[in-house]
A and B are shown apart, each in its own frame.
Chain A
Amino acid sequence: MRKMLLAALSRVLQGPAAAARPVSRVVVASRNYADFASEATFDIKKCDLHRLEEGPPVTAVLTREEGLHYYKTMQTIRRMELKSDQLYKQKIIRGFCHLYDGQEACCVGLEAAIKPTDHLITAYRAHGYAYTRGTPVREILAELTGRKGGCAKGKGGSMHMYAQNFYGGNGIVGAQVPLGAGIALACKYFGKDEICLTLYGDGAANQGQIFETYNMAALWKLPCIFICENNRYGMGTSVERAAASTDYYKRGDYIPGIRVDGMDILCVREATKFAAEHCRSGKGPILMELQTYRYHGHSMSDPGISYRTREEIQEVRSKSDPITLLKDRMLNNSLSSVEELKEIDVEVRKEIEEAAQFATTDPEPPLEELCYHIYKNEPPFEVRGPSQWIKYKSVG
């Protein structure tokens, strides 16, 4: 706007000769790619290491395309989660709803370092992963609102979303960890150079089955990256009150570990690349602790301020927000402009609105399909409803 006024003013001041000036001088929003750098190098925080001589690099190169892609993806997840918050308060989403806002750098950073043919499994704070693993926003929101257009046709809900090479979405704390090692076993068995990222939280880190899994993964050298998303609270219990050792990256004992700044997407990406290389080279499992933070409470029924202060939340928002960190880096290094990023924000808002519109207008799943998908590859059979006179057909 200012540019336009200045240009107009300068023309007026310069008189008729100004009319001969080239048209580009009065263009408002500059989308001239020559104005931007194609990439920039950033210093990233050194990771704490456990049983490793060397760790991930302390610098990272970010290209303009990558930056724009990461920004858009994180912003999409942020707005999707905030929209879910809104829909939940309107009682259009029911049951459990565990939101991921604040942790976006983790899922986007992980995905940036692996291939679509790699595998990933996580717990119930999974909407971000459902998105990065390929589920469209409208299908995620429609699953939350329990409609037939949901990614699990309304059968799963918030905690049970699946995609190609994404195994959910698991409701039982810690149970996904042995599952992830099993997927890694399949990767090794098939010999296709694929790995499995197995995520769990700081609360789940105290589950016994995780230690059983560490043991077997190490014994059998499974290509599994164990990833602890430490957001400092397991529901309402802070890490200090839950764990005798809060060095989650060391809890794998004989398994090498890295502690990563989970609010910095480049840190997450570089650490994951390092960990993926470790697994693919046949060295066995490795553990990553991502230090991150969730803005919302544990779930929508938790205001999230009885066990932590508003000041703490505010401090993280102002000093460590993952989207702001990326934005500042890009702007300060000419990888993008305020206007360009604003345009992306507008696009994202539009996409989320459309998705929410779909999610609130799509019909609920048909009652006839209540008992579908009990068995796979089975001829259709009858399933009992609430009484002996109510029967449903089941198709696999």
Chain B
Amino acid sequence: MAAAAGALRRLVRCGPQQGLGRLRQLRSGIHGSAPAAVQVTVRDALNQALDEELERDERVFLLGEEVAQYDGAYKISRGLWKKYGDKRIIDTPISEMGFTGIAVGAAMAGLRPICEFMTFNFSMQAIDQVINSASKTLYMSAGMVPVPVVFRGPNGASAGVGAQHSQCFAAWYGHCPGLKVVSPWSSEDAKGLLKASVRDDNPVVMLENELMYGVPFEMSEEAQSKDFLVPIGKAKIERQGTHVTLVSHSRSVGHCLEAAAVLVKEGVECEVINLRTIRPMDVESIEASVVKTNHLITVEGGWPQFGVGAEICARIMEGPAFNYLDAPAVRLTGADVPMPYAKILEENCLPQVKDIIFAVKKILNI
């Protein structure tokens, strides 16, 4: 009975797209099978997280371009304006520096804003407010002025959007003390990290990925709960392995898992780590893995110089795992060039599954 009630609750909570899938689930539930995980897209997971956090805390509100009446440029905030109204979901003019500063000021005065950048490329217009006003203020005020704000939006490459709309900001924001920077891959990551970010009393930059928004993932029953949080600062081992450690974040995690699925047929077991958080980075998990596998490859979409992979390599060198490396650590990154438009060019600007496989074989000498 409780199982059927749970299934019914989930059915009620889902959006129209999920309805049919959930209905099938419900029928199977009533017929006696155990409540299963459901398929939820990253978009819907983010939407749920926003809805739940808006409901839970009156001080939370969302502002950004097209977040209200347009339902969100990428439909992440679909239905929220209808439910919460003008006070909680605010459409802004195209004024990044202005509205980002407004979000930060509101946080200083006790609210908990979620500031959406239509893409993180536009955050460059407002980067002074993110770094100088948000991330440094707690320190400069010796703890007197906290800034509980979340900056979120799609980051990195999309599909054919050209150089000005394809930059990855993980390294730029990950560079700065006072900020937390998270980068979800799956729906569970997206929902849990967004909820954790909203509840965190510090400024958090959440780097989503536009190409991941429509991808469905299985979400466990636990992950569907209103209090499900993914801890900030902890990586997740997506796949256990013994021969090589693949460390990645965001969309590249999927590529690593695909490469691992191909390599397993040749007897190579890859351990795939999903960083989930860029700052503070869970180096301990990477070290523990390298101690086990003796080989390290980092995979990211951003440019190579001063990137996430560069930081991981430096940290591994400084720590206990260095002595366990049987080969130098390897970085797979975006190509060192502004993103071109033509499909064949764009594809070859990001690490593909074949590049990961090639690197694994090279590093293992097979």
| Among A160-168, A238-246, A268-276, A313-321, the stretch in contact with B | A160-168
B128 and A175 within 8 A (CB): yes
Q: Please measure, in the bound complex, the distance between the C-alpha atom of A388 and the C-alpha atom of B105, giving whole angstroms.
A: 35
Question: Do A215 and B93 form a contact, CB below 8 Å, given A178-B105, A182-B108?
Answer: yes
A183–B106 Cα distance when bound, in Å, is 5
Complex interface bits, A373-393 against B, C-beta within 8 A gives 1, otherwise 0: 111111001010000100000
Contacts of B143 on A, CB cut-off 8 Å? 372-373, 376, 396
Q: Is B98 a contact partner of A213 (Cβ separation < 8 A)?
A: yes
Candidates A170, A186, A373; contact of B106 at CB < 8 Å: A186
Is A212 a contact of B98 with CB atoms below 8 Å? yes
A185 adjacent to chain B (CB < 8 Å) = yes
Contact residue range for chain B?
A: 35 or more
Whether B141 pairs with A156 at a CB distance below 8 angstroms is: yes
Q: Which residues of B contact A215 (CB under 8 A)?
A: 93, 95, 98
Minimum CB–CB distance for B224 against chain A, Å: 27
Measured between beta carbons, the chain B residues less than 8 angstroms from A182 are 101-109, 113
A119, B202: Cβ atoms under 8 Å? Answer: no
Q: What residues of chain B lie closer than 8 Å to A184, measured between beta carbons?
A: 105
Question: Which residue of B93, B106, B140, B148 is within 8 Å of A160 (Cβ)?
Answer: B140
Among B130-159, those with CB < 8 Å from A are 132-133, 137-146, 148
A contact residues, total (Cβ < 8 Å) = 49
Partner of A186, one of B98, B111, B202: B111
In angstroms, Cα B101 to Cα A61, docked, is: 39
Q: Complex formed: what's the CA distance from A200 to B282 in Å?
A: 42
Tell me the complex Cα distance, A376–B103, Å. Answer: 18
Q: Is the CB of A183 within 8 A of B108?
A: yes
Residue of A nearest to B134 (CB): A179
A334 CB, min distance to chain B CBs, angstroms = 44
Does chain A have a CB within 8 A of B129?
Answer: yes
A206 adjacent to chain B (CB < 8 Å): no
A208 within 8 A of B: yes
Report the bound CA distance from A47 to B110 in whole Å: 35
Residues of chain B within 8 A of A106, CB atoms compared: none
Task: Name 24 interchain pairs, CB-CB below 8 A, sorted by A.
Answer: A119-B109, A152-B140, A152-B142, A155-B141, A167-B145, A168-B140, A172-B132, A177-B101, A179-B129, A180-B105, A181-B101, A182-B101, A182-B102, A183-B105, A183-B109, A185-B105, A186-B109, A189-B111, A212-B95, A215-B95, A373-B142, A376-B146, A388-B318, A396-B138
Interface residues of B (CB under 8 A from A): 61, 87, 90, 92-93, 95, 97-111, 113, 128-129, 132-133, 137-146, 148, 177-178, 180, 201-202, 280, 318
Given contacts A152-B142, A177-B101, 12 further A-B contacts (CB under 8 A): A152-B141, A167-B105, A179-B102, A182-B103, A184-B105, A209-B95, A209-B97, A209-B101, A213-B102, A216-B95, A374-B177, A374-B178
